[in-house]
Structure 1
């Protein structure tokens, strides 16, 4: 970043934040504190009303605004593709907002920049995944969840768990306090405090079949920060398989979350997984058919054999 661009960026950061230290700006722009001091002095000499408070940092004089910002083609593409993503993945309110934002961005772009950004966009495309019906339900769940989070109201959900309980039932009714939404591998995951389990749990929105916003309010604990939150790893069950090396890419692409190690030895592939329960891998193992063999645990090996016998009887 050259000096002129950096100084403009400093003004934008000061306009966006109430106060910033020179050290923060130096870290942000990957330069020295001394360079930031020189930039601040240069901006002041150009008439930008920057206030400095010893030990606190720099700020723009209240009421001072920068003129409209101009975007280059790459910046415009980033914003326009971002609006496409919002339109595809969020609910109806944000769909309209994304379209309106897109029109405003395109309207203020100079003709050469607009033409160049269009040319760049023609080389890239965002594709929405998932079936239309499930996509609609997921978007509706996003809308209601956003409302509940903004108003700090609890949710009652009917959740279809991936693995059934001991009684064979997959459906569970929960009351939860929604803390945040996270998009993980094209799936919306709700981070929430579950009243039933009395701890933070994760719920995939596509598996929520019923969702109701309740009147009950909740408070987010002061120590919880969605940006810093990391879920505990509760995978304790070890599964070892022997596989055909030809499906190595398939295994790593579909089960990388569970994978602990992978090693090719004597013409076979040994893969170790860590899971909460071995049945999480059942559909994958069956899908790989004769190209894999479960070595451990023996109980899961027996389960695969039982499923194979059931399949054979059907054919």
Structure 2
């Protein structure tokens, strides 16, 4: 840490902790007490109102805050929760920046706002799902790699698994892609980019990518592409209607299935409508509910469910 960064950090530490001894600051910044004495002198000469008390330590004069920001409790809570979200969903690099940002935000809050924000935050908690799973770890690593190559405008190559593929398609393929941006969809990161294999703009879930490698090939962003305004073409042309038994109706409502369009309560349970590109995209999800769900249409999906049920019967 250079001197300028350390001087700012000292102010933030004093704002957060009220009173600190020279040895406390020296331990925090891994330097000598003599260096801290010089830093304190430099800050005082720059007009920062630091008060030194023998036997107690250093403190800032009441009312001095840097920078001069004024947050309401709700704004402070929103910012602090946001840093937690970044730690969970972005890579390690941004996770560390989120931690330091949280410390700085807490440091600039007046005591009353900081205490009330801390009280409100005790009523909420953000948990990461499958934090230690192989897919989750790899996803974070890929987020870090991809966000860098997007800025560098370099192509990437990876093996991609299409989980819900039709019988005529290969489940695994090697893709070379010009990455345009990353989008968080329903808790999962998706890469938007131009695929050399398909010769069009495609979407790739990071959890379905393996063996990611950065290529030397560079690309140029099309002038017409804007990630913030981008809306993918909806090619889900197959409508699926199901009936769910009353006992699982609430679970269907809460499942947040990507393909779910609408649902309505009926006497015996629930009617739900989905839209998909291929019936296989919904098949695994339907099978998990067993006999508690009945496919009403299309007939092609009813037949596929019947085929899978017959396979299960033969196995048992």
TM-score by length of 2: 0.73
Q: Note if contact 2:180-2:193 (Cα within 8 Å) is conserved in structure 1.
A: yes
Unaligned 5+ runs, structure 2: 1-65
CA distance in 1, matches of 2:150, 2:161: 22
Relative to structure 1, the CA distance from residue 98 to residue 120 in structure 2 (aligned partners, 3 Å threshold; closer, same or farther) is same
The equivalent residue for 1:31 is none
The equivalent residue for 1:33 is none
**What aligned pairs does 1:67-216 form with structure 2 within 5 A after superposition?**
68-132=68-132, 133-164=134-165, 166=167, 169-216=170-217
CA distance in 2, matches of 1:184, 1:163: 17
Report the 3-state secondary structure (helix = DSSP H, G, I; strand = E; otherwise coil) of the residue aligned with 2:289: helix
CA distance in 1, matches of 2:281, 2:168: 17
Task: State the shift of 1:94 in Å.
Answer: 0.6
The equivalent residue for 1:224 is 225
CA distance in 1, matches of 2:194, 2:289: 36
Unaligned 5+ runs, structure 1: 1-65
Q: What is the number of equivalent residue pairs in this alignment? A: 250
CA distance in 2, matches of 1:165, 1:78: 43
Relative to structure 1, the CA distance from residue 282 to residue 76 in structure 2 (aligned partners, 3 Å threshold; closer, same or farther) is same
TM-score by length of 1: 0.73
Task: State the shift of 1:197 in Å.
Answer: 0.9
1:95-147 alpha-carbon deviations (Å, 9 max, x no partner):
11111111111222222222111111111111111241222111100001011
CA distance in 1, matches of 2:228, 2:200: 18
Task: State the shift of 1:309 in Å.
Answer: 1.8
**What aligned pairs does 1:292-307 form with structure 2 within 5 A after superposition?**
292-307=293-308
CA distance in 1, matches of 2:116, 2:174: 52
Relative to structure 1, the CA distance from residue 270 to residue 67 in structure 2 (aligned partners, 3 Å threshold; closer, same or farther) is closer
Report the 3-state secondary structure (helix = DSSP H, G, I; strand = E; otherwise coil) of the residue aligned with 1:226: coil
Q: Note if contact 1:129-1:186 (Cα within 8 Å) is conserved in structure 2.
A: no
